[in-house]
Structure 1
Amino acid sequence: MTQITEATFAALFEKQAQQTPDHPAVKAGGNLLTYRELDEQANQLAHHLRAQGAGNEDIVAIVMDRSAEVMVSILGVMKAGAAFLPIDPETPEERIRYSLEDSGAKFAVVNERNMTAIGQYEGTIVSLDDGKWRNESKERPSSISGSRNLAYVIYTSGTTGKPKGVQIEHRNLTNYVSWFSEEASLTENDKTVLLSSYAFDLGYTSMFPVLLGGGELHIVQKETYTAPDEIAHYIKEHGITYIKLTPSLFHTIVNTSSFAKDANFESLRLIVLGGEKIIPTDVLAFRKMYGHTEFINHYGPTEATIGAIAGRVDLSDPDTFVKRPTIGRPIANAGALVLNEALKLVPPGASGQLYITGQGLARGYLNRPQLTAERFVENPYSPGSLMYKTGDVVRRLSDGTLAFIGRADDQVKIRGYRIEPKEIETVMLSLSGIQEAVVLAVSEGGLQELCAYYTSDQAIEKAELRKQLSLTLPSHMIPAFFVQVDAIPLTANGKTDRNALPKPNAAQSGGKALPYRRQRLKKAYAAFGRKRLA
């Protein structure tokens, strides 16, 4: 079992860098950094940040293109004793500005080309392109962080119309990373590739554990990892051994016309699926061609640090797997309680809300004490400790594994992104002419899509709605469909009557034929030629 460690991730990385100094650590395009080079460059940035005044518990925003310098920045911030705030430069400027202001980030590490993304930021800006930081010492700075200091802050969708910052401590991160490194038996021979934005912890299963095992992290451009044929060829060419991705992205890979023709995935020994509900038929289709590849189903909200529940997928009985896929059991030093509304344990087989306990629980929400108190509640079965209320409904089976049933609230997952529909509704209601708005998840072609229903006393162009929303919301939160209705139907108790709302069609996407999200996916997945997406 994974032992609880008081070390920070930076300290664990330094230990690994001493063991494999000349082994490749990070590869991005034509740039390759060995463990020694990554360690030394992170040391230089850490010294530079400290010279600028960065220290313990300070938050440093990272607004970078996908490059090897992303890991230099993350490790540099950690070595400086500060916490990193990852921000995707493609995020709308208004949302970036909010994250910078709400977090109180005093420093920002950026590429020169992303200076405009941070707008009128008034903190200290460190541009990795100007080279000043490279004049600093390559020696490791003295450590000033402990296991209970802040490691990073990630902003997730919020019900109030504004995202909320989740605070993760070093002990949270090292527990997960240590567990996964052991579970996946990572070694110097392993290679992985980041298949999501570094601004969300979905990809941290790839980013951190591989560097603890002496392996190799590959960072590719978004245009590569969202094009199934391109990422398939990349995996083959570079001998990638394990990947973490969403079931949606995996679905597009398995359902390309070239999947059954080209043997591109022989090097993969492990595939980790997480961020949304697994699609069993895709797993079986892949396993049919690559019988040696193992699968892990992976579950965990950001508040529980990357992953809290996981399990190897048992394919010895395919029929049972298709009918009843499970999300697994709690990882090392984590726990899972299935409780009713009175916070009493429900018997095996009965459904209840999932509460997570243990070493992975976040510190709470930044600047949101009331919300923290609502979601991180006292554990009645372990006085003095907390448990996190996930809002997910599960069932504990007789063998101890957990089966996911659904949500107890309106939160949805689209392409692995956790989305609060109320945040989208709040932004819609701020637009001129919108009187009422309801956003729901609908099933389109087997995948979840967002649909916005709204009332207005005037005709509003769907394209204009999308344009206005994109000024505030990131692309994954823009609805695929927009449906104008005369009134939002209500049930007898005054709640939205979802069954009475009309199903969206292609005309309501604002496009000529395909819903907007599908148009984006089709463009990004250029090689993805399935007929039902055409």
Structure 2
Amino acid sequence: VKSGAGYLPVDPSYPADRVEFMLADAAPVAAISWSGRELVLPAGLPVVDIDAVDVSEFDGSVVSDADRVAPLRSSNVAYVIYTSGSTGRPKGVQVPHTTVAKLFANTESVYGFDESDVWTMFHSYAFDFSVWELWGPLLYGGTLVVVDYVTSRSPEQFLELLAAERVTVLNQTPSAFYQLAEADRLASESGRAAELSLRWVVFGGEALELRRLSDWYGRRGDFAPTLVNMYGITETTVHVSHRVLDAALVADASASVVGQAISGLQVFVLDTRLAPVPVGVAGEMYVSGVQLARGYLGQAGLTSTRFVANPFNAGEVLYRTGDVASWNSAGDLEYLGRADDQVKIRGFRIEIGEIESAVLADVSVAQTAV
């Protein structure tokens, strides 16, 4: 990122053909890896093994434009993250430096993070929730606890880690937190309740079933920690809206309340004619503001169908999310589902068209419906 290049996160646990496609499509100029990798990289791609390279001969001062091949601008791409594609082909979302910086500037008034906070890196760095987890503590000078794979799959071990490391900021997909909350309940019933230092639990990545938090609030109360439901998409740089939760809201809610747009963004709920819908009426969500990505890498046609002209502000762009929502009487957004066939599983976006394409690739299959 400091060199002026964008990074492409590649999770070695991904299927080999998906990794191969991503590397061919993004055409990276180099790979940063380690000498023990099992991932097969393209022949001819320069590789830097970070555990083997000797950096002692290099200057440790801050990188400047004099060191770069071109000046670094805030509009330069910071990273490209691939998401599932409806045509059967994953698509790379280009996110510039400025939108990542704006993400934290726009949420600062909500959270007040500082150098005393301890964050967890729980999610794969190839999943955009990790952008929030990784750059947050680096920006504020906090501590980052990287959660190993085995611990991330064991709610009991993860609960112990949260207590031992005195974690204050926890970011979770709802499905992961339900398991953690159950581990917390069992520990409490056995007299081994974990002494947590959590200030914030931030939900994202998939719809939150509020009533499943009732037991947590019954044990932990409203203020230790504060739970926040956030909604967002890779194309809008992680987060779009937020809603601070409490026991009363959880007891009464019948839908996933995702709140109101964070500072610097606007959310519109529109009908098929791009007209705003009344309170209580379902429509598709569109997002405008300073956190929108630069579109899809090498896919101008797809970019133009998702990043559309803003009918309310000439010269601006709306991102068409494909998510259906409605405004409630309190002025909050309630997430209702998708306008298309996309589904979310543990935070991962899965396009049905991509699954169908994979099945149809088998010569013995003539037709398929997923």
- TM-score norm. by structure 2 comes to 0.93
Aligned to 2:59: 137
Superimposed CA distance per residue, residues 308-340 of structure 1 (whole angstroms, 9 cap, x where no aligned partner): 11111133344323x244101111111101111
Query: Given the superposition, is the C-alpha separation of residues 335 and 158 from structure 1 closer, same or farther in structure 2, using an over 3 Å criterion?
Result: same
Secondary structure, in 3 states, of the residue corresponding to 2:39?
Answer: helix
Contact 1:300/1:306 (CA < 8 Å) preserved in 2? yes
Q: Does the CA contact (< 8 Å) of 2:207 and 2:256 recur in 1?
A: no
Aligned to 2:12: 89
Q: Alignment partner for residue 258 of structure 2, among 321, 327, 330?
A: 327
Matches within 5 A, 1:493-504: none
Question: Where does residue 219 of structure 2 map in the other structure?
Answer: 289
- C-alpha separation in 1, matches of 2:341 and 2:314: 30
Mark the runs of 5 or more structure 2 residues left unpaired by the alignment. Answer: 66-70
1:275 aligns with 2:200: no
- For residues 173 and 222 of structure 1, what CA distance do their matches in structure 2 show? 26
Distance 1:355 1:259, change over 3 A: farther
Q: Is the 8 A contact 2:208 2:229 kept in 1?
A: yes
- The more displaced of 101-110 and 258-267 is 258-267
Deviates more, 1:247-256 or 1:223-232: 247-256
Q: 1:247 aligns to what?
A: 174
Amino acid at match of 2:232: G
The 8 Å contact of residues 232 and 265 in structure 1, kept in 2 or not, is answered as no
Residue 314 of structure 1, aligned match among 222, 246, 251: 246
Ranges in structure 1 where 5+ consecutive residues have no aligned partner: 1-77, 440-534
Give the 3 Å change call, closer, same or farther, for CA 98–121 of structure 1 in structure 2: farther
Q: Across the two proteins, how many residue pairs are aligned to each other?
A: 360
Q: Indicate yes or no: 2:41 matched with 1:119.
A: yes
C-alpha displacement at 1:134, in angstroms? 4.3
Deviations 1:336-365 (A, max 9, x none): 011110111111221110001001110000
Is 1:170 aligned to 2:93, yes or no?
no
* Cα gap change, 1:412 to 1:235, in 2 (>3 Å): same
SS in 2 for 1:86: coil
Q: How far apart are residue 172 of structure 1 and its match?
A: 0.8
Contact 2:12 2:39 in 1 (8 A): yes
Q: What is the CA distance between 1:123 and its match in structure 2?
A: 2.1
Q: Which residue of 1 aligns with 2:68?
A: none
Separation in structure 1 between the aligned mates of residue 43 and residue 144 of structure 2, nearest angstrom: 31
After TM superposition, give the deviation of residue 211 of structure 1 in Å.
2.0
Structure 1 residues 100-119: aligned runs within 5 Å: 100-114=23-37, 116-119=38-41
Counterpart amino acid of residue 309 in structure 1: S
Q: Say if 2:325 and 2:334, in contact at 8 Å, map to a contact too.
A: yes
Displacement after TM superposition at 1:136 (Å): 1.7
Report the counterpart of residue 319 of structure 2 in structure 1: 388
How do 1:315-394 residues align onto structure 2 when only pairs under 5 Å count? 315-321=247-253, 323-394=254-325
Give the percent of matched residue pairs that are identical in Structure 1 and Structure 2.
34
SS of aligned partner of 2:163 = helix
Query: Which residue pairs with 1:266 in the alignment?
Result: 196
Q: Is the 8 A contact 2:83 2:93 kept in 1?
A: yes
Deviation at 1:199, TM superposition (A): 0.7
Match of 2:74 among 130, 147, 153: 147
Rate the CA distance shift 1:179–1:264 in 2: closer, same or farther, 3 A: farther
Give the Cα separation in 2 of the matches to 1:244 and 1:273: 6
Residue number in structure 1 paired with 2:160: 233
Q: Tell me, yes or no, if structure 1 residue 217 matches structure 2 residue 147.
A: no
1:202 aligns with 2:132: no
2:50 is aligned with 1:128: yes
Query: Which residue type is aligned with residue 258 of structure 1?
Result: L
- Whole-angstrom CA distance in 2 between matches of 1:214 and 1:363: 28
1:180 and 1:209 in contact (8 A); partners too: no
Partners of 2:48 and 2:109 lie apart in 1 by 36
Correspondences of 1:457-476 after superposition (within 5 Å): none
Q: CA deviation at 1:146?
A: 1.5
Give the alignment's TM-score, normalised by structure 1. 0.65
CA contact (8 A) 2:188 2:194 kept: no
- Tell me the alpha carbon deviations over residues 291-315 of structure 1, each in whole angstroms, 9 at most, x when there is no partner: 2211110111100000111111133
Distance 2:56 2:152 in 1: 31
SS of the residue 1:387 aligns to: strand
CA deviation after TM superposition for structure 1 residue 177, in Å: 2.0
| 1:429 corresponding residue in structure 2 | 360
Contact 1:229 1:258 (8 Å CA) reproduced: no
Q: Evaluate the alpha carbon distance shift between residue 388 and residue 366 of structure 1 in structure 2; reply closer, same or farther with a 3 A threshold.
A: same
Determine if contact 1:326/1:401 at 8 Å carries over to the other structure. yes
CA contact (8 A) 2:256 2:336 kept: no
Q: Which structure has more RCO (C-alpha within 8 Å, separation ≥ 6)? A: 2
Compared CA separation, residues 80 and 299, structure 1 to 2 (3 A): same
Alpha-carbon distance, 1:180 to partner: 3.1
Query: Partner of 1:132: helix, strand, or coil?
Result: coil
Distance of aligned partners of 1:200 and 1:134 in 2 relative to their CA distance in 1, 3 Å threshold: farther
The yes-or-no answer on 1:411 pairing with 2:334 is no
Deviations 1:347-388 (CA, angstroms, capped at 9, x unpaired)? 122111000100111000000000000000000001101000
CA contact (8 A) 2:322 2:339 kept: yes
1:80 correspondence with 2:3: yes
- 8 Å CA contact 1:356, 1:387 repeated in 2: yes
- Shift of the 102–343 alpha-carbon distance from structure 1 to 2, 3 Å rule, reads same
Q: Report the secondary structure of 2:36's partner residue.
A: helix
